[in-house]
Amino acid sequence: MPSKKNAPKESQLAGTQTPDRANTNAKLQSLETVRSDATGQALRTNQGVKIADNQNSLKAGARGPSLLEDFIMREKITHFDHERIPERIVHARGTGAHGYFQSYGNHAELTKAGFLQDPEKITPVFVRFSTVQGPRGSGDTVRDVRGFAVKFFTDEGNFDLVGNNMPVFFIQDAIKFPDFVHAVKPEPHNEIPTGGSAHDTFWDFVSLVPESAHMVIWAMSDRAIPKSLRTMEGFGVHTFRLINAEGVASFVKFHWKPRQGVLSLLWDEAQKLAGKDTDHHRRDLWEAIETGNYPEWELGVQIVPEADEHKFDFDLLDPTKIIPEELVPVTPLGKMVLNRNPDNFFAEVEQVAFCPGHIVPGIDFTNDPLLQGRLFSYTDTQISRLGGPNFHEIPINRPLAPNHNGQRDAMHRVTLDKGRAAYEPNSIDGGWPKETPPAAQDGGFESYQERIDAHKIRQRSESFGDHFSQARLFFHSMSPNEQQHIVNAYSFELGKVEREHIRAREVNEILANIDLELAAKVAANLGLPAPKKGTVKVPALSLKASPALSQLNHPGEGVKGRKVALLVADGVDGALADKLTKALEAESLQIKVLGPTSAPVKTADGKMLAVDASMEGMPSLAFDAVWVAGGKGVVDALKGDGTAVHYILEAFKHLKPVAGDKEAKVWFDELKLKADEGLLAGSDGKTYKAFVEAIGKHRVWAREASVKAIPA
């Protein structure tokens, strides 16, 4: 166990030790092996020949046939014909960013992994976020699990922490993974739906596989529609081992805690954004990094000594279970900052290859049967997608540590290996490269020596047999608003299922075992009779609720990077609008000035005020709050504009803070908006402060019960 002296200081948690961006990026890029900049360079073929004419193919006369000997055209067209590679079977839709990881201290008591032992060390990382079900062209904001994969380019080799934004999974054993994916993917007869699980085959499968119950309720919660990629938690899902230099091992669960808070969309927002801005999450991450609002996560672990492996009322090796944080708190190890966008989406985001089997000394696996299958599957799929076993030579995958061995040839080999011996041991090349004993300084990798004495058998451990108690814990840990969202999600998804017996089975054999009130509400929405009791006896847990599971308990550290729409029109008070903008920007909020059109508006003193976009071009869905600018005639102009009226009603319906001056308050009253802590009027410091505080709470949750009738 790490000592308290290794715990992070408050200044570290606050990010005050973040390295200078330019110096950090220069250092990280200097470690990379390949990066091309064509500025000032001549146009050439792939063989380096300068091109004189890239506008016309070679012909027999100006109007004659094109000639086969035109090697420039043939090279260009051939490359174009083969530019697309097979998309990932799952996690096809994604985006990514570069950054760095920095340890808070020396965690040598816990692990011998070098990148966790030196707080001065800057370890480059590349992160890919993704959805699971849909293809590359699907929407960002669909209800789905999100992938959260991090590649650490450590001095000892690459470490891939390949996880999700949910801490559990649908199945316990990897042999069921093809079945699950086939079920959740679009139905084979019509390739519908794209990007979602609201269809018969998914619900048929999960209603027949009770082990999925815990993950499904997570997927029906707000966790499946994150506000942004920056506001997602990340989890390693499986139980891993960390091992120190003395060979002492601890079981660990990996957690990524976002400093931006754990925030989600409302379902109505998520659906509308899928149409209004398919790339909402991609755009948000890109713009945050470009504007210097670098997303940060804290990497932590839940640590369980080997002696305590069996002390819980669940099995540590069961990937459908969490360790509640109230039982084992998360110990912070370091922080990750994303501060550079990719230069080329295909070369970096599409070609990056994550594999759970990529670990470094000090990190090892457990016998989790889902993890064991992933160790094979990920490498196997990269060979298919990326054209052979040399995918590690693609620049985005290339480790910073050297990788000398006897592996040569195969498709797309880039390294020019010297020497005659492609085997080990050898005497021809002096015996090089040689093994590194694990006991040596910077020793070689040594697998943990776990004693195993068992028969070969195809059987599920009895300790994996409880499928409902943690699903019940999750539901009982939610706030009333979050519970209602779960009811709504089950009702919506099951409402899309054509076969009534599937809907009834999910309600009676799954939901009734989680919570009878949940089952009854969903049954009522589906027109089914409410179940009177569950079908199995669910073990009682030591915890009745886990507050750490509710997103409302993770609002984030301040409002940095959150977005405010400032609505203006002709007659706006320019000085007041400028004062408001500066006051909000001082809180690190991003302000966008929006008008009836994209044209500038005329201020009260006759000047022209440029706008960032029209209200139609940047809907309220893209913002955290709305402020109506003051000035003579502004409110009259806006309330006569249907788009502006819709803007206010929609923002209010989505529980966002809405503010303006006293004239705006009259308009809000005319719209019959009920007063609450997020509906504000005034132009003084007190109003600004209340507005910022309301944004910091993400939603005006008390408003939700009263907004159903608002047309938006």
Q: Please, which pLDDT band fits residue 30 given cuts at 50, 70 and 90?
A: low
Going through 341-372 in order, the beta strands assigned E by DSSP cover: 363-364
| Residue 79, pLDDT score | 86
| Residue 631, pLDDT score | 85
pTM, 2 dp: 0.92
| Residue tagged 């027999």 (tokens) | 60
pLDDT digits (tens, 9 = 90+) for 462-474: 999 999 999 999 9
Active site residue 164: yes
Residue 602, helix vs strand vs coil: strand
Joined tokens for residue 505: 């089975």
CB 340 within 8 A of CB 97: yes
Q: Please, which pLDDT band fits residue 16 given cuts at 50, 70 and 90?
A: very low
pLDDT digits (tens, 9 = 90+) for 180-209: 999 999 999 999 999 999 999 999 999 999
CB 343 within 8 A of CB 190: no
- State the catalytic residue, choosing from 91, 107, 485, 554: 91
Per-residue HEC secondary structure of 8-38 comes to CCHHHHCCCCCCCHHHHHHHHHHHCCCCCCC
pLDDT digits (tens, 9 = 90+) for 290-303: 999 999 999 999 99
* Of the candidates 226, 224, 229, 222, the residue with the CA atom closest to the CA atom of residue 129: 229
Q: Please, which pLDDT band fits residue 19 given cuts at 50, 70 and 90?
A: low
pLDDT digits (tens, 9 = 90+) for 570-593: 999 999 999 999 999 999 999 999
145-167: b (≥16 Cβ within 10 Å) or e:
bbbbbbbbbbebbbbbbbbbbbb
* Of the candidates 366, 334, 333, 172, the residue with the CA atom closest to the CA atom of residue 251: 366
Please compute the mean of the pLDDT values over residues 16-32 and round it to a whole number: 58
pLDDT digits (tens, 9 = 90+) for 115-130: 999 999 999 999 999 9
Q: Is the pLDDT confidence value at 500 over 70?
A: yes
pLDDT digits (tens, 9 = 90+) for 666-695: 999 999 999 999 999 998 889 999 999 999
| Residue 9, pLDDT score | 42
Separation between Cα atoms, residue 493 and residue 93, nearest integer Å: 21
The alpha carbon of residue 699 and the mean position of all alpha carbons in its chain are separated, in whole angstroms, by 21
| Residue 712, pLDDT score | 53
CB 625 within 8 A of CB 655: no
* Of the candidates 89, 98, 96, the residue with the CA atom closest to the CA atom of residue 124: 98
Separation between Cα atoms, residue 496 and residue 186, nearest integer Å: 13
| Residue 487, pLDDT score | 98
End-to-end CA distance of the chain: 53
* Of the candidates 644, 653, 689, the residue with the CA atom closest to the CA atom of residue 674: 653
Active site residue 91: yes
- State the catalytic residue, choosing from 6, 98, 107, 164: 164
Q: Which domains, and CATH codes, for the chain?
A: 4-14+89-215+230-393 (2.40.180.10), 472-552 (1.20.1370.20), 563-706 (3.40.50.880)
Least confident of 22-31, 107-116, 130-139: 22-31
Please compute the mean of the pLDDT values over residues 131-146 and round it to a whole number: 97
More confident residue, 492 or 447: 492
Q: Is the pLDDT confidence value at 257 over 50?
A: yes
Q: Please, which pLDDT band fits residue 2 given cuts at 50, 70 and 90?
A: very low
| Residue 20, pLDDT score | 62
